[in-house]
């Protein structure tokens, strides 16, 4: 079946530190992979995505590369800011047809806190 495992938090960093949040997945077929971010009191927003192996998604200084050989999609940022404090969710989109088409499977989320 489909599942996503991401590193448990919380993660606490100082401003300008390097960030890595690990995400691995299990899937039947070839899913699309996503990172969503949730700021306090808000809904989820798409941060970046990759639709096939070796694709790199990037946005706002965040990057993640779709690694089929290691079934991973780790999120990285070279220099975090206080405004990056949020919960980050890794997700995969079921590539199957029929009743499961497009369904998203989420990891449990990783809370990031950045201190000035």
Partner 1 sequence: NAGVTQTPKFRVLKTGQSMTLLCAQDMNHEYMYWYRQDPGMGLRLIHYSVGEGTTAKGEVPDGYNVSRLKKQNFLLGLESAAPSQTSVYFCASSYNEGGFPDTQYFGPGTRLTVL
112, 13 contact by CB (below 8 A): yes
Handedness of CA 36, 108, 78, 57 (dihedral sign): negative
Residues 6+ apart with CB under 8 A from 7: 21, 22, 23, 110
Among the listed ranges 22-30, 62-70, 72-80, 104-112, the one in contact with partner 1 (CB under 8 A) is 104-112
Q: How far is the CB of 44 from partner 1 (least distance, A)?
A: 4
Q: Single out the residue of 7, 35, 14, 34 nearest to residue 85, CA to CA.
A: 14
Binding mask 6-35 for partner 1 (x = CB under 8 A): ----------------------------x-
* CA quadruple 92, 38, 6, 52: dihedral, nearest 10: 30
Sole binder of partner 1 in the list 59, 76, 106, 113 (CB under 8 A)? 106
Sole binder of partner 1 in the list 46, 54, 56, 115 (CB under 8 A)? 46
Per CB under 8 A, 99 contacts partner 1: yes
Among the listed ranges 22-30, 57-65, 66-74, 102-110, the one in contact with partner 1 (CB under 8 A) is 102-110
Q: Cα-flanking dihedrals φ and ψ of residue 61, to 5°?
A: 90, -10
Binding site for partner 1 (CB under 8 A): 4, 34, 36, 42-46, 49, 89, 93, 95, 99, 101-104, 106-109
């Amino acid at each position: 079946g489909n599942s996503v495992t991401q590193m448990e938090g919380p993660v606490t960093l100082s401003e300008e530190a390097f960030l890595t949040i690990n995400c691995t997945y299990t899937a039947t077929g070839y899913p699309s992979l996503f990172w969503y971010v949730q700021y306090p009191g808000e809904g989820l927003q798409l941060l970046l995505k990759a639709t096939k192996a070796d694709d790199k998604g990037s946005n706002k200084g965040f990057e993640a590369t779709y690694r089929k050989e290691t079934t991973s999609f780790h999120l990285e940022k070279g220099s975090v800011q206080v405004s990056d404090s949020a919960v980050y969710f890794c997700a995969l989109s079921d590539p199957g047809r029929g009743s499961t088409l497009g369904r998203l499977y989420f990891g449990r989320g990783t809370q990031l806190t950045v201190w000035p």
